[in-house]
Amino acid sequence: MQPRDLPLRSPQLAVLAMTCGSPGAELRGSGASHELGLERSARGVVEERRDLDFVHSVHTNVSMSTAYVSGRVPARYERLIARQARAARTSKSDLVARYVIEKSLETEFPGISFRDSLSGREAYLTGHRVAVWEVLAGYEETKSVEKTATHFHWSRVLVTRALAYAKAFPDEIRASREGETNTVTVAG
């Protein structure tokens, strides 16, 4: 059974039909189609209302829960994203997902940004070259926010922000720390 053939009994299924089905897929059932920006045309097919420019649907995967987020951007930005994805040797979808995640985290944790490192993407303190895992390592050694701030010549706020991020994402910080400390240097 194709996703567009499912009876629509929930907003999630209506979104699934709109995003996974072909344009003009048949809408069976009523549900929240109007709220989702879907309308049945005179021909009896589903059409997107012009005022809908963002879709969100949650899908459950066996290995992890993911969410489908879709948005519209002007064509010039799509070309920019396509060029950046080619340069990064990744898909547009993966690049946009990374951008959305990282920008959301930067908004949630002010002072935290992301960059490429030897171990992949890592969180660091905006405006500084210090990764979050390095701040955590300093804190683990000193057992004091004040002493860690003094060590880096920063305000306590920066250390507190780094520690808050590290507490929220311990697995990510652990992997970043291991990736950076377990790399082999090449003698030239």
Angle at 51 between CA 45 and CA 56, to 5 degrees: 80
Q: For 41, which DSSP code?
A: -
Residues pairing with 57 in the sheet: 68
Number of helices (H) and strands (E), helices first, in the chain? 7, 6
Q: Is the pTM of this model over 0.85?
A: no
| Rounded Cα gap, residues 31 and 89, in angstroms | 41
- What CATH topology corresponds to 109-182? Arc Repressor Mutant, subunit A (1.10.10)
8 A C-beta contact, residue 152 and residue 103: no
At 156-178, the pLDDT tens digits run 999 999 999 999 999 999 999 99
Instruction: Output phi, psi for 109, to 5 deg.
Output: -125, 80
8 A C-beta contact, residue 34 and residue 27: no
**Residue 30 exposed, middle or buried by CB count within 10 Å (0-12, 13-18, 19+):** exposed
Number of residues that this document lists for the chain: 188
What are the sequence ranges of the domains in the chain?
3-71, 73-107, 109-182
At 60-109, the pLDDT tens digits run 334 568 888 888 999 999 999 999 999 999 999 999 999 999 999 999 99
**Predicted local distance difference test score (pLDDT) of residue 65:** 82
